[in-house]
Structure formats: C-alpha cells, structure tokens
Chain A
Amino acid sequence: MTQLATREAAKARQDDVQRRGRRLGWVSLGLGVAQLAAPGTVRRISGVDDSPTTRAVVPLVGARELVHAAGLLTSRRKSVWAWTRVVGDAMDLASLGVAIAHRSGRPRRRLVAVTGAVVGITVVDLLTAVQATRAKKIGSAPTARGSREGGPMELTATTTIRKPPPKVYAFWRDLGNLPTFMAHLEQIRTTGDRTSHWSASAPFGTNVEWDAEIVDEAPGEKIAWRSTGNADVPNAGTVRFVPAPDGVSTEVHVVLSYDIPGGAVGKAVAKYFGEEPHQQLDDDLRRLKQVLETGQVVRSEGAPWGKRARKEFPQRPAQPLSDSELAKGADS
C-alpha cells in the first residue's frame, strides 16, 4: 500500500473512532443528567431501594457520567476518555454486585436485568477504547506544527529576511554559519563537497555528533540534508528560499524532522527541562534574520548571551553586567 493510501485508511479509522466516541459521550450525558435531575426515578427503574447509601451513590455516579460526557464530546483524544468509561463500568458492575447480594425477590430480578444491560454497555465501551487506542497508534492525523507522540518529530518555521535569495542561500550553504544562529549546534565541519560532520548539545549537558549529507540542492532556492550512518538522533531537514512579494526579501521556509530517543517520554522529559523545540526553531530563525540583516545576534542586559540565552525567564535584571559576569560569560 502506498503511504498516501495508508494515511487515508488511518484517517477513515480515526473518523469512525471519533464518531463512536461522540455517541458514547451523548449516552453518558443522558445518564448523568437523569441521575442528577431525577435520582428517585432512576433508582426505581433499576430496582434500587431508597436508602441513605443509594441516595448518595446515584447522583455521584451521575456526576461521573457528566465527566465522561465532557471528555468524550470535547476532546479529540477519544482513546483516553473511552477507557475512563470502561473504568466507570467496572465500578458500576461492582456496586451492582454488592446490591444484588443484599437483595432478593423483585428488586433482585430488576438488578440482574440492569446488570445485564451494563455488561452489554461495558462490551461496547471496551471495544471502542481498544479500537481508539489502536487507531491512534496506526496514525493519528499529524498536527500542523509537529506530532505530540513518539516517533519522528516534524518542525516547521518560517521568516522573511530583507536580503535577496542568493545571499541567504549562500549564507546557509556555508554550513559552518549555522551554529552562529542555531541554539543547539556547536560546530559543523565540512568534510566533502556534500558531506559534513555536526556536533550539538543535547538535554542534560550531553553532546551528540553525527555525519550528514546534502541530498538535494538547487542554488538560490533549496537545500535538503539528512544524517547518515548511525546517528544518535537521526534527522533530516529542508530549507527553501522563496522570493518575497516585495522584490527585495527572501522567505525562508524550514522543515526539520528528527527521531528523539525515548519517544514520547523522551520528548516530555526534554520539555520539562526547558527544551521547547518549536519555540527554539522560531528563535533560531529570528537570530538568522538578525545576523543577516544587522551583522550580529542582538543582546540586552536582561538577555546578554545571544543564542545561549536558552531559558528566557526569569532573566538577569536589566542593568549593566559586572566585569566578573562578563568574564565568566554565559556559563556564570
């Protein structure tokens, strides 16, 4: 199957899951409202007598149903919310079991019937939850600015620079320039006409190095590259240089994709420690613009270290740096 067909099929499955999730959401909403608005009627129908315990339990179950409904009707992450319904079903079945054990005669027969219905609902919930989880694994629709889940992460960013495309292209094609504006890159050494060796800082003070090659280029228009060999973080990128409508400027469009080790967990951990990839790529391009338009990365007393100002807030106060601060530099 082609990649496109796979994507189409995955999308169809996603739509189906979303539809079914929504339907369950409406069921939860109905049940929840009934249990909260008319708990007495609900108790009578299901064969539960009037006692302090049941008077407390039925509205509580109703409130829980409203939570399911809110989740299923408003969130696109149906898998999580469908599982909350399964958990709810298990709670209901347990309470029904307790109720059956304590009753006999007509109430008991009613309770058994209700239990049968709940078992049926549980099966539907379980199926939906399992399918929603699978559909997500197979291929949820990618978000516009990169996926939240594990697997390759795609980042896009764009800026307009008031220099003609050949000039911006030439600056980027001289790969040694990239570390002047890209926060993570420490150094790029050219090793051949199209090959180079890259080194970058990674979270937790570690360092990663890899070889890369240019796989496609059109002078003044486009450069595409990818890592080669056994890179720790396999990555690829494309940058396009498009003439802007003003006739003087260049639109720079960047797409980066890389495999973060540790999948979703790795990404979450990195984010927790202040590595926000989208923001970083945006800031990288802002610095590229500063370097090309003004000659340098701009510095202020609050953010004096150019591209090394990784964490923006809180900053040092906006007052001049002491000699010792200046001598220590960004590591102070």
Chain B
Amino acid sequence: MRANTWAGRNKVKVRDVPDPKILNERDAIVRITLTAICGSDLHLLDGYVPTMQDGDVMGHEFMGEVIEVGRGVDPGRLRVGDRVVVPFPIACGACGACASELYSCCENSNPNAGIAEKMFGHPVAGIFGYSHLTGGFAGGQAQYARVPFADVGPLKIESDLTDEQVLFLSDILPTGYMGAEMCDIQSTDVVAVWGAGPVGQFAMDSARALGAAKVIAIDKEPYRLQMAERAGHTPVNFEEVDVRSRLLELTGGRGPDKCVDAVGMESSHGSAHVHAYDRIKQAVRSETERPHALRQAILSCRSGGTVSVIGVYGGFLDKFPAGAWMNRALTLRTGQCHVQRYMKPLLQRIERGEIDPTRVITHTLPLDQAERGFEIFKNKQDNCEKVVLKP
C-alpha cells in the first residue's frame, strides 16, 4: 500500500510499504477513506519529539471502513463493513486509567512503556504514527491501518454525515473541546485562546458552545484570525499589538477568566529577541520547548483563573512563570485528549448542527501529495489551515 513516512528531519516521503496485518486478536484492519495532517505532526517532522525512525508511517487522524477483525474482537461492538472514526490514543478499556476515562494515559497500550516511563515518570498510551516513545504504531496517513483494541476505541458512524464532517472526531475536535471543558466555563467568562490553528478554532467554538460570554483568538496569521472572526470570535494579532494591553482593554482590566494554550512547544513571539532566545536554546537542545504562549497565558490570566494546556509539550522548558501561577491562585490543567470520552457527545453536537468541523478545511489533497501538504501547512502558505488527504 501507499503510506506517508518520516524520512529524517524535515522530510516526509510517500512510499510503498507492506499492507498491515492482524498482530493481536483484538485488532481490526481499516481501509482508510480520509485522513489528515495534524499540527502535532509538525513536531515530529522537525524532530522535536524524539524516537522517530526513518520509515515510520505517520498520521493519527483517520477514518474508514473495517475490512478485517481479529478473532478476539467483540462482534457486538465492531464488525467488518462498519464505518468508523479511529481515536488517536490507543486505549485498552480495562486498566485503571481507562476505568477513570483517562484514555490517553492507558496503562496497557504502549509496548515501549519502559522508555516513556523514563521520559515522563509514568508511561503514556500508545498513539498511531507518533514516534516510538508512544509505542511505534504505524499511522493512518496510508491506505490501510491496523487498529489495536478495535472493540474499544473506534466510533461507528451510522448516519449519513460526510467523512469531512466526522473525521476530526479522531483528534482535533475533541482536543479543542477538552481545552474548553477544562476551563469549567461560566456564562460570565471571557476565554482567550492562544493559537488559531485548527485545534484553537475548535477550542473557541467549544468555549462558545459551553456558554462563554466572549471568546478571543490570539495569533499572527491574518487569515487564521479572519477565520476566527468569521466564526464570531474576537481577533488579537500579537505581531501588531501588545497582547497583555489588548487583553486588559477587552476585559475591562481584569484579564481573561480562562486561557487556553493551543500552541505548544514551537510557539512564536511578537518580540524578536525573546523568540531568538528560546529558538536558539531549543535548536541546541538546552530546552526542548519554546513556551511563549504558555508564559503569556499565565501572565495574562485573571487571578484565580484557569490556564488550560492542549498544545503539545515534550520535555523541559525555561522561564516558567511559577510566581504568577502560584501567587495569583491560577489553576493549570492539561492533558493529551482523552478522545474516547468525547466522541459520542460531540458526534451528537455535529448531528444537531451546533458545531461545523468542516469550516477549518482549506486543502484536500490526494495521499500521494502528502509532502506538499506538510510543506504548505508548516510554512502557512496558500492560507493553509487544515489539510485532509484522500488515500
């Protein structure tokens, strides 16, 4: 089959690889009908997430049709012919973490748990196409994929919604939603979201759906800010204005009640020298993150507010404003999304028309053009917001 693979730092390559086979009894094989490039794939692309190997099949947002199931798969849950969206964290459904609905922290799904444990203190779940630290699972930017614990994660789509409407249930829609949900939003809240990429856009939509009084979008790309504005959110361009002053203006001097970091480890900073400081430290690997968005979110948030982190971090960062965080009674909430927890309720919101996930798609390419997809997405060319790939 054809698959998009990692081919060294800043290089992906669509190649011919063997078709996937059942390895565990509870596996299923899915013929992929639609897949996507995620912002977090960019952290893999440039090598900031360790343990990528040449030839790794990338991609963790995919959906398709079940064409084969292992003999351990409960037929009451999944059968050949089912149309499914596959959540990006692989979860067993039986461990303590899964029992607490902390699916992205599943204790059983990562065969390389020993390595993850050394990096993070405790292991994390396996993830499709997302480095060997998270298991070394082949990903979904391909024609077919093997899906472990197939009777636990995949969500059956039985309505006539299009692939484009439901694909993002695999990651970015639940991730954005969890970012807003962790803010415990009240009807009086002003919510500021750093990053107007696809996850940020969904965090904004979710914040509004959860009843926020006002939602603010912070980014530097005019086309992304315009996209947020069209959806009814208030844009702030950090290259044009001082973010803190603008946020004070927009909130009557209080600061946003809730802040969402939808940027993560490779953020940009409006001030060139601050950006250069972290960029250099990151390039020589003396810190693994460039946490401008997180720093700014903590410093901007009103006292007693919540900072919710859904942007991906992988290692260690410098100049964490612990003083602001502690003295001003801020709550910091985080996590890789526990996608399985949100798929059904969000599918219902899509069916009811409350959320339109298709609004972020700007490019639809054939799988064979994945390299070009990565290029325009990474360099924000051609007003690229979200690339979906058709195998």
Contact = CB atoms under 8 A, between A and B. Distances in A.
Q: Do A and B come from one complex?
A: yes
Interface of A: 160, 162, 246, 249, 279, 282-283, 286, 289-290, 293-296, 298-304, 309, 312-315, 317-323, 326
B133 to A, nearest CB: 10
Interface residues of B, number: 44
Interface string B8-33: 00000000011111011110000000
A162 B26 contact: no
B96 A160 contact: yes
Interface stretch (B76-84, B103-111, B281-289, B321-329): B103-111
Contacts of A304: 23
Contacts of A298: 24, 92, 108-111, 126, 148
Given A294-B108, A318-B57, A312 B137 contact: no
A326 B114 CA distance: 24
Contacts, number: 128
A295 B26 contact: yes
Nearest to B54: A317
B110 to A, nearest CB: 8
B178 interface: no
B21 A162 contact: no
A317 B126 contact: no
Interface of B: 1, 3, 5, 17-21, 23-26, 51, 53-57, 72, 92, 94-96, 99, 107-115, 126, 129, 132, 135-139, 146, 148-149
9 contacts: A295-B72, A300-B126, A303-B112, A313-B132, A318-B136, A319-B17, A320-B20, A320-B146, A321-B18
Q: Name the residue among B95, B108, B138 with the largest chain A CB count within 10 angstroms.
A: B108
B375 to A, nearest CB: 22
Task: State the 5 A-B residue pairs at the shortest beta-carbon distance, nearest first.
Answer: A302-B136, A317-B55, A303-B111, A320-B20, A318-B56
B17 A320 contact: yes
Secondary structure class of chain A's binding surface, majority of residues: loop
Given A286-B114, A296-B72, A312-B114, A319 B56 contact: yes
A319 B149 contact: no
A294 B138 contact: no
Contacts of A293: 92, 94-95, 107-108
Contacts of A160: 96
B138 A318 contact: yes
B111 A300 contact: yes
Given A318-B132, A319-B55, A312 B115 contact: yes
Contacts of B94: 162, 293-294
Contacts of B18: 319-323
A246 B108 CA distance: 19
A64 B129 CA distance: 52
B26 A301 contact: no
Contacts of A296: 24-26, 72
Contact of A295 (B1, B25, B135): B25
Contact of A318 (B53, B95, B99): B53
Nearest to B110: A298
Given A293-B94, A313-B51, 17 more contacts: A162-B96, A246-B96, A282-B114, A298-B108, A300-B148, A301-B138, A302-B132, A302-B136, A303-B111, A312-B112, A312-B114, A317-B53, A318-B55, A319-B56, A320-B18, A321-B23, A326-B21
B114 A318 contact: no
A246 B99 CA distance: 11
A104 B254 CA distance: 86
A33 B53 CA distance: 50
